[in-house]
Amino acid sequence: MADPALDTEVPGAHTLDCSLELQRQYDVIPAVVCSMCCLFGIIYCFFGYRCFKAVMFLSGLMFGSVIIFLLCHKEHVLDTQLSVEASAGIGLGIGLLCGLVTMMVRSVGLFMTGLLLGLLLALAALLVTEQFYTPSSVWVPLGSLLGSGMLFAVLTLQWQKVFTMISTAVFGAAIMTVCADYFVELLVLGSYVYEVMRLTPRTALCWYSYVILGMWPALSIMGVLVQWKLTGDSFSHTEVVLSRRQKRVQLVKIREKDAKKQQAASGQEGTYRRKATPVKRYAGDLLAPSYLQSLRDRQMGTGTSLSSMGTSNHTTISLDYDCGSTAPLTATTPVVRV
């Protein structure tokens, strides 16, 4: 006869089957989504800072999609009950908008990255303290999450490279942990974390749930070391932005120089004047300097004009000719006598 004490069930106790040989049935769509998220988690964890723009976009996409999906499907924010497909579509659309904003505006992307880091670290602290202390109000975990998120968001804006590496490594490790939890125990660990946040009665975890949870800090430390020493060592997101700006500035300067050259060329063409053809002079058109000087002396002494002297002999003498030559007058030039 069986002992009645062995058949007594303790109220609130749950019988756990921690055998790994359980038959699990996976849906196609969640399995594909988890596989893709696992790939994104690897990129995040080990190449997060190297793929800066892609990480900014994926951060906004995942954050917006998850928050909107939980609000629409779990909390029933809308008056009507939405299906999983409708909630996922709404979350994906708003997540795309958030991803574009975080990718185009660098400060918003860094703020979102630091906010994710603060939320994850606060969540880890709540999971540890939950073993020893259970808050009496739901505002305690919410306040700790918001406070930690804002603190690390400001710190990320101040020290961008260091906290971006830490945030991407921690977030990527968290994504891989959730994917492993889905394939091993169908998100039992995820349901446990959600119950901790809502301060609702929780089921006990199996030993392999703690092994999966221990993957998170191990992968986080490994991701930080890999990014710091290998993938993100000789890379800086500020140099990428500055190089693009410098290219634009150099292009503007080149265009300004070309415009100045064109203006200078057009100005020279406008002020250019063709030189006049020099007048050909012959030997008979040149007068000796001594002869011109004697004419000036005679004019000053007698008071007569050279023009009247020239008209009487039908010869006009120009004193503006070049006097650099000492060639004698030709025989055809009349002699002026006073």
Burial 276-296 (b: 16+ CB within 10 A, else e): eeeeeeeeebbbeeeeeeebe
Is pLDDT of 3 > 50?
no
Please report, as a single letter, which amino acid is at residue 136. S
Q: Say if 36 falls within a structural domain.
A: yes
Q: Say if 303 falls within a structural domain.
A: no
Q: Say if 195 falls within a structural domain.
A: yes
Between 287 and 188, the more confident residue is 188
- Residue 302, CA distances (Å) to 76, 295, 314, 315, 338 in order: 128, 11, 20, 19, 9
Task: Give percent of the chain above pLDDT 90.
Answer: 16
Least confident of 110-119, 216-225, 287-296: 287-296
Q: Say if 251 falls within a structural domain.
A: no
Q: Say if 67 falls within a structural domain.
A: yes
Cβ 160 vs Cβ 99: under 8 Å = no
- Residue 63, CA distances (Å) to 26, 43, 143, 235, 239 in order: 25, 17, 19, 26, 27
pLDDT for 122-181, tens place per residue? 999 988 888 888 788 888 888 999 999 999 999 999 888 889 999 999 999 999 999 998
Please report, as a single letter, which amino acid is at residue 188. V
- 325: Cβ contacts below 8 Å, ≥ 6 apart: 286
Structural domain that includes position 81: 28-243
pLDDT for 218-233, tens place per residue? 999 999 999 888 876 6
**Which conformational region is residue 253 in: left (phi greater than 0), alpha (psi within -120 to 50 degrees), or beta?**
alpha
Q: Say if 256 falls within a structural domain.
A: no
Q: Say if 185 falls within a structural domain.
A: yes
The tally of domains found in the chain comes to: 1
pTM for the whole structure = 0.61
Q: Which tokens belong to 147?
A: 């406070």
Whole-number Å distance between alpha carbons of 49 and 227? 7
Q: Say if 11 falls within a structural domain.
A: no
Is pLDDT of 280 > 90?
no
